[in-house]
Amino acid sequence: MEEHKQRALVHFIKRTQVPFDDLVAAAYDVVQQLQDAYQKLDGEFRDNKGRFVELMIVDGCFMLENEDQIINRWVLEFLSSEAQPLAAGVGLGLHPLDVFRKSMLLQSPPRRSRPQIDSDPFVSEIIRPAVELYEAGLRFKKSETLQSLRDIQFSHGVLSLPVITVDDTTEYMFLNLMAFESLHIDCRH
């Protein structure tokens, strides 16, 4: 695998014509921020900034370099599952997280616009717990399309929501998505 990573680094440098020393300098400029972003960073990388920068550059170029069609197919297969395959047309993105983000935020069918009930900008929206809403008479239902996190509908006291699988990786996935979106402003929703 390491030789594939080295090949991706060489290809990235050739394609972008960014000198390797510039990549190293840019990584050193933010090395502390990068290290702080890892909750559990192995001591080898916490104590040795040079080794950490090498890891970030080599692995980063490997992840970002999307010219290799074998890797592209592998990323798409990895991010999709039989239970919830990626929707047609998602394609590749800036990063595997971008592919995942796009698949979760596909455009839902257009909805009728609803009139603004309260136009007072100082009224804060309060999000109530699901149990409290249920006890107040609201009913929950699984969305029909299961295509997008945006597929939320409310009609006749029934709130239709998309299904999301919550497991040991969910928190990390959403934290990584938030970090990705903060660095790629044009990707925000």
72 is a domain residue: no
Residues 132 and 161 in one domain: yes
Measured CA angle at 152 (ends 148, 154), to 5 deg: 165
Statement to judge: residues 91 and 42 lie in one domain: no
Instruction: Specify if 118 maps to a domain.
Output: no
Q: Which domain holds residue 173?
A: 83-110+125-189
14 or 125: which carries more pLDDT confidence? 14
5 and 36 in a common domain: yes
pLDDT of 101 above 70: no
Farthest CA pair distance, the chain: 62
Give the whole-angstrom CA distance, residue 165 versus residue 175. 15
Q: What is the mean pLDDT of the chain?
A: 73
Closest by Cα among 75, 103, 95 to 184: 95
**pLDDT, tens only, 117-136:** 555 555 556 778 889 989 99
Res. 67: pLDDT tops 50: no
Instruction: Tell me the pLDDT band of 64, cut-offs 50, 70 and 90.
Output: low
pLDDT > 90? residue 178: no
> 160 or 4, which is more confident?
160
Is there a domain that residue 23 lies in?
A: yes
Same structural domain, 183 and 93: yes
Q: What is the reported pTM?
A: 0.38
Nearest CA-CA partner of 52 in 29, 18, 28: 28
Q: Which of 181, 149, 38, 154 is nearest to 84 (CA)?
A: 149
CA 143, 129, 167, 45 torsion-angle sign: positive
Percent of the chain, pLDDT > 70? Answer: 60
At residue 149 the predicted structure's pLDDT band, cuts being 50, 70 and 90, is: confident
